[in-house]
Chains A and B, each alone.
Chain A
Amino acid sequence: MVTEALVLSAILFVIGTFGVLIRRNAIIMFLCIELQLNAVNLSFVAFSRMFGIEGQLFVFFVMTVAAAEAAVGLAIIISIFRHYETVNVDSFNLLKW
């Protein structure tokens, strides 16, 4: 049971990672990050079967932080969109050498 959950978690995490690396749309990338976080959450829950309740506790922390992060992240993306009228991350490369 745990093995299957961990495999699913890994698959979700890799999808999320590739999503962040490949996609250029800021909102999609953002969602992919959420996917990674939730993949981790799944692992936590799965492991809590073996090691105790602390894993489930941590999931709450992660969800709280993810919610706060989503709020700030979306606000930034909206702000950027108002300025550039696009959410394509290739357009935002002012902070370079």
Chain B
Amino acid sequence: MATPLLALAQGGGQAAAEAGHYEPFLPGLVVLLPLLGFIVNGILALQHGRASADAVRRGEELDLGDASSRPATHTLPTWIGPGVMAAAFLIAVVNFARMYGVYLEEPVIVRYWTWIASGTFTVEAALQLDQLSMIMMLIITGVGFLIHVFSVGYMKEDPGYPRYFAYLNLFVFFMLVLVMGSSYALMFVGWEGVGLCSYLLIGYWFSDREKSDAGKKAFIVNRIGDVGFLIAMFLLFREFGTVDFVPVFAEAETLAYAGGLVTAITLFFFVGAIGKSAQIPLFVWLPDAMAGPTPVSALIHAATMVTAGVYLVARSSALFALAPLSSAVVAGIGVLTALFAATIALKQDDIKKVLAYSTVSQLGYMFVGVGVGAYAAGVFHLMTHAFFKALLFLGSGAVIHAMHEAYHSTHSHEDAQDMRNMGGLKAFMPITWVTMWIATLAIAGIWPFAGFFSKDEIIWYTAAFGGAENAPYPALYTVYWIIALAAAMLTAFYMTRMMVMTFHGENRTGAEESKALHEAPPVMWIPLAVLAVLSIFGGWINVPEELQASWVGLFGVLPASEWLHHWLEPITAQAHHIQEVNLGELSHYSPFGGGEVLWATISTVAAGIVVLASIRFVGGQKVVPVAQDEKKPTGFAKVLANKYYVDEFYDRFVVQPIVGASRFCWKIIDARIIDGAVNLVGMLSKGVGWGVSMFQTGTINTYAFILTVGVLAILGVTLL
């Protein structure tokens, strides 16, 4: 296996590689394989639906608990779903290996056919292969593959199993279109496609009203953002006559620096990113999206789809660098969201809700990164976050799976996701416990885990950007920097709280139920272990040069200094050039003095202290199971537990007015005014007809008289 792969990796001949030439290897297949998986799994799902409808009619019941009695529609997706992902990942790796070592200045564009040709406007169905799309491709197919494998264990007894894999494969297809498309138009295709799959998978258990409503909410909130994306695309077309990445960025600098147009374009793009990446004020859909199966939350609502907004900003770095105001807005929204969501996560009891708000918060960090011009740092955090957040979600999936079976064994209807019902699970599921602690330390920013390097870099660049010679709003960036540090401490606290409530202390599941608690099967814990390894070492690819020689870089032992920065340089070079020309050199000191090493040390030590303190603090608190918990939170804790009443606020001031206006349009404007006007015309013609019919007396003399009068009238008019 390894040797042919190696040969493929060197592909296109040794000579080609030496000449700095990159030969793509079947890039279309990376996109097409998940689509193929969707088609095959979709057919199986239809077959399965028909078969189970027949079984219901015959009064039989399909037993999915026993592996030997599962029908073929249940066993085939197990191989097809993860299989196409594995193949796509291997092809992506081959392409990465071919691009590795080649300093590709211009992206390679693989054209297939012309999708839209209208006057001077053309959009080609073409894939863009460059360093950024390559990183995204590896994350999507790699993490996606692990999550597909996990799903085999998690979903095996679900009656909709083939449908689940069909949706999941379709999602990966659209996500790859999103990151590999060579124009904003193709990106928008993927953008809408992943939204559709998100909707389908959130409402996967659609017979539950609450869950299908959550799917609708995600879809509708995303639409609001998509309008921004569309307007930005129209503006680009009006200005440049094209929406392809390469020509747009080539001509980007003809726009005035900090001009109104480029600011408008980037702000509208950011509106799209706000919707997709769940930032203030459109973050409300993401916590509700947890209604979907947990592996879906891991893949779509943590690792890939929600980071599409960050990808959009990083991809458009040349435009955002030209618009300092937009960049400040991006970073500002990001840092506010990071803090806001982190505070909500402090008081959530549902394990998936904690992770959902944590995701919103971490996405905020990514936007801070791309907002302060540290595009590579934003993508770096996107990558490490994909590792540790996917791990956390899959781990919570393993916990929920075990809890669900425990309650199932006694036919209890207790909440399997509420952490108040957990506690002490480390004795039952040690592997999940260890791997989730690794992810927790990574997200908390503890050295040397992945999250430390990526988060620290973002916080550092916030300070450095504010200290640049001509920084647009230096004081603002100092505020951002302080908030980002504060939110990092909150992250350490709420994640530790989640771990302690779930795995430590007394078990609160119930004496009878706890007998059924068990470790996840290998098909589920192996992906956890792989992601845990990535969560430990993933950050080492991008150790900053200033830190490498210090203790943070283990005195030069950690490898590949700033590898990701160098890798992404062809993508970010233009933005950095614009930034340097207009803002000057970045500062090497934080707002309160001290170099990078000092603040890296302070942040990791502080996070470590918070983790240790909260283990003691939360461990000392008495937690009672949901059934016996009558104490309601009061004061500010109540506000946090109710998520600042944002949903209620939106319901009162957005949803209700729209519903009211719609009802007015329906009942008054449509039913009364429009229908009334139509009916009135009908009544009028009917009445006139009835009136005129009175002339039809049936008497010949009347007709003769009217005829005569008519003839005389016409003669009179024409002759006189």
Contact = CB atoms under 8 A, between A and B. Distances in A.
B708 interface: yes
A97 B693 contact: yes
A22 B702 CA distance: 10
Contacts of B697: 93, 96
Contacts of B696: 95-97
Nearest to A91: B699
Contacts of B694: 97
A17 B708 contact: yes
A1 interface: no
A21 B699 contact: no
- The B contact surface, by secondary structure, is helix
A89 B698 contact: no
A90 B708 contact: no
24 contacts: A17-B708, A20-B701, A21-B701, A21-B704, A21-B705, A21-B708, A22-B701, A24-B701, A29-B700, A89-B699, A89-B700, A89-B701, A90-B699, A90-B701, A92-B698, A93-B697, A93-B699, A94-B698, A95-B698, A96-B696, A96-B698, A96-B699, A97-B694, A97-B696
Nearest to A32: B704
Most central of B694, B697, B698, B705 by chain A CB within 10 Å = B698
A20 B711 CA distance: 15
Interface in A10-65: 17, 20-22, 24, 29
Contacts of B693: 97
A29 B703 CA distance: 13
Contacts of A97: 693-694, 696
Contacts of B701: 20-22, 24, 89-90
Nearest to A26: B700
A93 B708 contact: no
Contacts of A24: 701
A35 to B, nearest CB: 14
Contacts of A22: 701
Interface in B666-720: 693-694, 696-701, 704-705, 708
Nearest to A90: B699
Nearest to A23: B701
Interface of B: 693-694, 696-701, 704-705, 708
A93 B703 CA distance: 12
A17 to B, nearest CB: 6
A90 B700 CA distance: 8
A22 B697 CA distance: 16
Given A21-B708, A95-B696, 14 more contacts: A17-B708, A21-B701, A21-B704, A29-B700, A89-B699, A89-B700, A92-B698, A93-B699, A95-B698, A96-B696, A96-B698, A96-B699, A97-B693, A97-B694
B712 to A, nearest CB: 10
Nearest to A24: B701
Interface residues of A, number: 14
A95 B693 CA distance: 12
Interface in A57-96: 89-90, 92-96
B700 A92 contact: yes
Contacts of A95: 696, 698
Nearest to A33: B704
Contacts of A20: 701, 704
B698 A93 contact: yes
Contacts of B699: 89-90, 93, 96
A97 B697 CA distance: 7
B209 to A, nearest CB: 58
A10 B693 CA distance: 34
A8 to B, nearest CB: 20
Nearest to B693: A97
Contacts of A93: 697-699
Nearest to B694: A97
A92 B701 CA distance: 11
A95 B700 CA distance: 10
B133 to A, nearest CB: 79
Nearest to B690: A97
Contacts of B708: 17, 21
A97 B691 CA distance: 10
Contacts of B700: 29, 89, 92
A97 B705 CA distance: 18
A28 to B, nearest CB: 12
Contacts of A92: 698, 700
A89 B694 CA distance: 19
Most central of B694, B699, B708 by chain A CB within 10 Å = B699
A17 B700 CA distance: 13
A20 to B, nearest CB: 5
A45 to B, nearest CB: 22
A89 B701 CA distance: 8
A93 B699 CA distance: 5
A24 B704 CA distance: 12
A94 B699 CA distance: 9
